[in-house]
């Protein structure tokens, strides 16, 4: 899969049309498959591309009933859900026009745009965002203006990757709140150096109607009287809403084999930066795990090793 388009949208549209008709793609359209996979329009299991449910919905709107606006909305929503697009919207949204060079610098900084991409790749990508109303891109002046704010995290289709930027300290905190608000079931937040500032995020974001239990797992590095007092207040508040809050402290020697920090619920697991990085306006990423069940097992073993704060 590829985060960057290699041809204008009309070529992708034609590939979807042919796949919707159950026709084989000609060799000239074969390069369109990876980006259509990224958008979620195509599945290419065992080298045989076919339309996904989303791609079939686009085909029906665009090529069967002729609802071009509805089809365009589907493309726009898919583009907005790409990590690259979310990052552009977050960093440059509300800043007015920026240069194409600034956009390129941002993507190279985070290694989002691979070095082997041809020079035309960024232009093709910006043309696509321009076509579907995500940005206003002027080739003549080499400027880009964001038209869409960064999308909020949706409970049903969380993105795999979210960027936190030094330039957007408030939005960084908001995105972590959004992730916590999407939690369901039994939730764990594992961070060796969990700081009591994280309790504010839990208080602001947690949906107690879908989360019966929330457990923090850390070493004792940042556990002090103030943390214990804040925990007691929040524990009582959440209990009144139906959620049990625990803070499990594990001896540092028992956490040597755990490097990452996670938020884990019944449906997924995400790798998070440290709490202090979230509030400290540091560059970081929130990344979905491909092995949530394995992480959940690791976390539950940690809980057994620790002691609950009272």
Q: Token pair of 70, please?
A: 């509805």
Q: What is the mean pLDDT of residues 209-215?
A: 94
Give the tens place of pLDDT for each residue, 2-57. 678 889 999 999 999 999 999 999 999 998 999 999 999 999 876 789 999 999 99
Kindly state the tokens that stand for 211. 């989360």
Q: How far does Cα 234 stand from its chain's mean position?
A: 28
Distance CA 26, CA 23 (A): 9
Contact call for residues 287 and 271 (beta carbons, < 8 A): yes
Say whether pLDDT at 125 is over 80.
Answer: yes
Per-residue tokens: 128 = 């696509």
Reported as a single tens digit per residue, the pLDDT across 126-135 is 999 999 999 9
Average pLDDT taken over every residue of the chain: 88
Most confident of 14-28, 81-95, 148-162, 254-268: 14-28
Residue 180: HSE in the Cβ half-sphere, 13 Å Cα cutoff: 23
What distance in Å separates the CA atoms of residue 11 and residue 4, rounded to the nearest whole number?
14
Sketch out the chain's domains with CATH numbers: 9-77 (no CATH), 83-146 (1.10.10), 161-308 (3.30.870.10)
Beta strands per DSSP E along 52-210: 98-99, 135-138, 143-146, 161-164, 186-190
User: Which stretch of DSSP H or E encloses residue 130?
Assistant: helix 120-131
pLDDT digits (tens, 9 = 90+) for 154-185: 445 567 788 888 888 888 888 899 899 989 99
Range 84-105 burial, b when 16+ CB lie within 10 A, else e: bbbbbbbbbbeeeebebebbee
10 Å CB burial of residue 170 (0-12, 13-18, 19+) is exposed
How far lies 34's CA from each of 6, 44, 56, 129, 168, in Å? 10, 9, 17, 18, 31
């Amino acid at each position: 899969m590829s985060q960057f388009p290699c041809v204008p949208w009309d070529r992708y549209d034609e590939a979807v049309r042919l796949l919707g008709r159950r026709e084989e793609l000609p060799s000239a359209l074969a390069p369109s498959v990876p980006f259509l996979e990224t958008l979620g329009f195509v599945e290419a299991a065992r080298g045989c591309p076919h339309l996904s449910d989303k791609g079939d919905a686009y085909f029906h709107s665009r090529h069967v009933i002729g609802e071009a606006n509805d089809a365009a909305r589907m493309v726009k929503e898919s583009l907005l859900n790409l990590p690259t697009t979310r990052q552009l919207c977050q960093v440059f949204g509300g800043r007015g026009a920026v240069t194409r060079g600034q956009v390129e610098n941002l993507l190279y900084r985070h290694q989002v745009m691979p070095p082997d991409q041809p020079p035309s790749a960024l232009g093709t990508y910006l043309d696509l965002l321009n076509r579907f109303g995500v940005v206003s891109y002027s080739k003549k002046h080499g400027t880009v203006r964001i038209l869409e704010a960064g999308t909020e995290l949706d409970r049903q289709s969380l993105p795999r990757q979210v960027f936190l930027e030094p330039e957007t300290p408030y939005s960084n905190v908001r995105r972590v709140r959004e992730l916590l608000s999407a939690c369901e079931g039994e939730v764990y937040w594992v961070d060796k150096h969990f700081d009591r500032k994280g309790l504010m995020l839990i208080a602001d974001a947690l949906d107690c109607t879908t989360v019966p239990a929330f457990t923090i797992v850390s070493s004792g590095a940042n556990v002090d009287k103030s943390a214990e007092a804040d925990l007691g207040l929040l524990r009582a508040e959440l209990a009144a809403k139906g959620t049990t809050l625990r803070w499990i402290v594990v001896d540092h020697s028992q956490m040597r084999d755990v490097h990452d920090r996670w938020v884990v619920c019944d449906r997924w697991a995400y790798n998070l930066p440290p709490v202090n990085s979230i509030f400290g306006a540091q560059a970081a990423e929130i990344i979905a795990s491909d092995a949530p069940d394995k992480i959940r097992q690791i976390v539950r073993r940690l809980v057994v090793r620790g002691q609950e704060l009272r």
